[in-house]
Structure 1
């Protein structure tokens, strides 16, 4: 099996990251290329890609905030990023379909959790759909119920991992 390498995102990764985002999320929920570029520019320290044979096949990203839950403006406006915020968000954990079910998303999440701990964050927060609650609970996230987020017109659940 070829090794999966997790590394910090680079500006020149934006096209590939946007392609993966568009493949992994419905159009109403996917971040635009412009939004991804702003995220890379604003919080590269919490944006990581997974590579296999030098090809980006997945990524995880999110900003820092003092909020205990994700609110919709965080997705759309990078200025809400608070570099020393106590919460690290997860905006997306994306792995191309042909590479799913191989532990790559878990490797990205574990790397992200370790980064958050090393950065002194108090928690990691995310929202997910009902079908993914169990997946995130595996990492220790706790479901605190339906989110107020209406991102993409979907119903989301607030998940929190206390560090």
Structure 2
């Protein structure tokens, strides 16, 4: 897999992968991903297979806030040039490519991007069933998030990178 910045032409594939990894209430819309591609190109990474097909992606803004806030799913914040915190709004891998460590590789690649931009932390919210995956990737469980996104219970996961 080759990890690189997103391209506008990746939109349809990204939305299809998102729909396989999240419930309809949780998943980002095509319009949200169009906005994220435009505004977060430097912090929107895709994993491409040898044929160039996107098999997974990770995206989120670099902001002053240390945790993902619900409004960020609807209105994409602008990336800070340097400093702040790297958030993850979505990490998803196509069902056919799961089990190949693509999710972990995408987290590692975004961590490098964040380190180069002097971010303090990498953080995200996840469902309880994914806490162990993120802990295995160096995150600490910060407890239940204030989020009510999709009427789910979310956990703040934080990785210090500064």
The TM-score, its normalising length taken from structure 2, stands at 0.94
Which consecutive unaligned segments of at least 5 residues does structure 2 have?
none
Which consecutive unaligned segments of at least 5 residues does structure 1 have?
none
1:156 corresponds in structure 2 to 154
SS at match of 2:153: coil
2:71 corresponds in structure 1 to 73
Q: 2:134 aligns with which of 108, 133, 136?
A: 136
Task: Judge conservation of contact 1:74–1:81 (CA < 8 Å) in 2.
Answer: no
Once superposed, what is the RMSD of the aligned Cα atoms?
A: 1.1
SS at match of 1:36: helix
1:49 corresponds in structure 2 to 46
Q: 1:27 aligns with which of 24, 27, 41?
A: 24
Separation in structure 1 between the aligned mates of residue 20 and residue 155 of structure 2, nearest angstrom: 22
The TM-score, its normalising length taken from structure 1, stands at 0.94
SS at match of 2:36: helix
Aligned residues: 159
CA drift at 1:74? 1.0
> Structure 1 residue runs of 4+, over 2 Å off?
none
Q: 2:2 aligns with which of 1, 5, 24?
A: 5
